[in-house]
Homo-oligomer: A and B are copies of this chain.
Amino acid sequence: MNLTILGCYAATPRTFSNPTSQVLEIRERVFLIDCAEGTQVALRKNKIKFGKINHIFISHLHGDHFYGLIGLISSFALLNRTTELHVYGPEGIKEVILLQLKLAKAYTQYPLHFHELRSTEPEIIFEDEKVRVSTIPLQHRVYTNGFLFEEKQRERKLNADALREFKVDASQMHNLKAGKDYVTETGSIIPNRDLTLDPRRSLRYAYCSDTQYFEELATMIQDVDVLYHESTFLQTEIHLCERTKHATAAQAAKIAKLAGVRKLILGHYSTRYDGIELFKTEAEAIFPDVHLADDGKNFNFEADFNL
Contact = CB atoms under 8 A, between A and B. Distances in A.
Contacts of A142: 103-105
B95 A37 contact: no
A104 B61 contact: yes
Interface string A92-115: 110110011001111000000000
Contacts of A13: 38, 40-41, 71
Nearest to A36: B71
Contact of A71 (B63, B103, B105, B141): B63
Contact of A37 (B12, B62, B71, B103): B71
A75 interface: yes
A49 interface: no
A45 interface: yes
A103 B92 contact: yes
A63 B77 CA distance: 12
A11 interface: yes
B78 A11 contact: yes
Given A37-B71, A96-B96, A63 B12 contact: no
A63 B103 CA distance: 10
B104 A62 contact: yes
Interface string A1-31: 0000000000111110000000000000000
Contact of A63 (B15, B45, B74, B99): B74
Interface size class of A (residues with CB under 8 A): 35 or more
Interface in A59-96: 61-63, 66-68, 70-71, 74-75, 78-79, 90, 92-93, 95-96
A78 B67 CA distance: 15
Contact of A40 (B12, B79, B95, B105): B12
A15 B45 contact: yes
Interface of A: 11-15, 37-38, 40-41, 44-45, 61-63, 66-68, 70-71, 74-75, 78-79, 90, 92-93, 95-96, 99-100, 103-106, 141-142
Given A37-B37, A67-B70, 16 more contacts: A12-B71, A12-B74, A12-B78, A14-B41, A37-B38, A37-B40, A37-B67, A37-B68, A38-B38, A38-B41, A61-B103, A63-B100, A63-B106, A92-B103, A103-B142, A104-B142
